[in-house]
Amino acid sequence: MKRGWEIKKIKDICDKASSNIAQNKITELDGDYPVYGASGYVQNVDFYHRDTPYIGIVKDGSGVGRVNTYPAYTSLLGTLQYILPKAGHLLGYIAYALKSLHLASFASGAAIPHIYFKDYGECTIPVPPLPEQERIVAELDCLSSIIEEQKEQLKELDNLAQSIFYTMFGDPITNEKGWEVKTFGKEFEISSGGTPSTSNKQYWDNGDISWIGSNMCQNAVIYENDGKYITTLGLEKSSAKLYDEGYVLVALVGATIGKTALLKIRTSTNQNIAGINVPKNKEYNSVFVFYLLQRLYCLFEDIGGDKFKMANLGFVRSLPLMSPPILLQQEFASKIEAIEKQKELIKQLIAETETLFNSRMDYYFN
């Protein structure tokens, strides 16, 4: 332990407070004071709970355990807990310390996970003198700011790619440029995959064939899978199919329905993904189709079923396929390739900065 540092329990250096604000009770209100929920800003109202900055922790539901700091003259929804550091304990320092505890691990309850101050309040953290707290917060804030700036650069590049698409081709729904419109089913072979029986270890153990689910469809290029592999026997004994580089994927169900992916690897998929064999049709470029399909997301949103939407292969085959000349598609693809190279460089920088941030967090708090 460094000189002047102490080990203290969270409950001894922080007070807690609760909120009784329900989102459905404030929809008609307006004012100058923001209310925040688990996902961020909700709306403005004509009152506030806290007149000084504070920490908020998601105490139940989605995002349970997430820690953020909030400005003065704001409030939290009832699904969040106010955490108020006592004198001599810097707000930012306590926030980083709480993040280091990974509070989601304290959650109980299967349907609606919940964490309690009485549990994580018993946790101990190292507390240095106030000047050292300020120095640590300045360092971690700097690294956090760099990461956020790098992520903003990624968003700007994504926006640039979308802008290039609209400039060259227009809106595929309204087709104001008057391109010939066909259907996906007429121009492409489209199929779905499958899942080998998880009870048969021969289908999974020591597998070397990439296998992905619809969670990988995030309107992104796939350069690697997320760690799942099946065996040759698993592929043969199921409806899983191998898709080559250049296939365009679209999720058929769940939280990612209508979202796409462009394969840069050879992989099999589960039954919740439609695989579109773009490379077989030389009149279309995979990058163009990948971006076009993203612009058709609104058609997936219109599918009936409020709670659980599901598309099928027939729906995907019926989608309108705007068909500009292949040379124009290839010109677009070359522009996107340059953007993707820039994105990969930025992603590497983000990974390096996050590694440094995590190592500093570990150094100070673990």
Which whole number is the average pLDDT over 12-27? Answer: 96
Q: Tokens 């993707």 map to which residue?
A: 340
**pLDDT on residue 97:** 98
**pLDDT on residue 145:** 98
* Between residues 158 and 304, the one the model is more confident about: 158
**pLDDT on residue 4:** 86
* C-alpha to C-alpha distance for 138 and 121, rounded to whole angstroms: 25
DSSP single-letter state for residue 366: -
Pairing of strands 75-76, 33-37: parallel
Residues 6+ apart with CB under 8 A from 237: 196, 197, 200, 203
**pLDDT on residue 25:** 95
**pLDDT on residue 254:** 83
- H-helix or E-strand spanning residue 298: helix 297-301
- H-helix or E-strand spanning residue 250: strand 248-251
Q: Give the number of other CB atoms < 10 A from CB of residue 119.
A: 12
Percent of the chain residues topping a pLDDT of 70: 98
Chain-centroid distance of CA 300 in Å reads 19
**pLDDT on residue 253:** 92
DSSP single-letter state for residue 289: H
What angle, 0 to 180 degrees and rounded to 10, lies between the N-to-C axes of helices 91-100 and 130-169?
70
**pLDDT on residue 109:** 82
Tell me if 303 sits within 8 A of 243, measured CB to CB: no
Q: Tokens 């064999």 map to which residue?
A: 277
CA 117 → CA 15, 50, 154, 212, distances in Å? Answer: 10, 19, 37, 38
Burial label for 152, CB within 10 Å (0-12, 13-18, 19+), is: exposed
Helix, strand, coil shares of the chain as percentages rounded to 5? 40, 25, 40
pLDDT over 70 (residue 203)? yes
CATH superfamily of 6-128: DNA methylase specificity domains (3.90.220.20)
* C-alpha to C-alpha distance for 323 and 206, rounded to whole angstroms: 43
**pLDDT on residue 308:** 64
pLDDT over 70 (residue 1)? no
pLDDT band for position 45 (50/70/90)?
Answer: very high
pLDDT over 80 (residue 110)? no
Tell me if 252 sits within 8 A of 270, measured CB to CB: no
Chain-centroid distance of CA 267 in Å reads 22
What backbone phi and psi angles, to 5 degrees, belong to 132? -70, -35
* C-alpha to C-alpha distance for 286 and 263, rounded to whole angstroms: 9
**pLDDT on residue 282:** 97
pLDDT band for position 306 (50/70/90)?
Answer: low
* C-alpha to C-alpha distance for 139 and 133, rounded to whole angstroms: 10
Give yes or no on whether 6-128 and 180-323 have one common fold: yes
| pLDDT (tens digit per residue) in 64-107 | 999 999 999 999 999 999 999 999 999 999 999 999 999 999 99
**pLDDT on residue 366:** 85
pLDDT over 70 (residue 303)? yes
| pLDDT (tens digit per residue) in 309-364 | 789 999 999 999 999 999 999 999 999 999 999 999 999 999 999 999 999 999 99
**pLDDT on residue 30:** 96
Burial label for 36, CB within 10 Å (0-12, 13-18, 19+), is: buried
pLDDT band for position 302 (50/70/90)?
Answer: confident
CATH topology of domain 180-323: Adenine-n6-DNA-methyltransferase TaqI; Chain A, domain 2 (3.90.220)
Which whole number is the average pLDDT over 271-290? Answer: 98
**pLDDT on residue 329:** 98
Burial label for 265, CB within 10 Å (0-12, 13-18, 19+), is: middle
- Domain ranges within the chain, ordered by starting residue: 6-128, 136-169+325-366, 180-323
Among 235, 297, 312, which Cα is nearest to 266's? 235
CA 312 → CA 39, 172, 320, distances in Å? Answer: 31, 21, 15
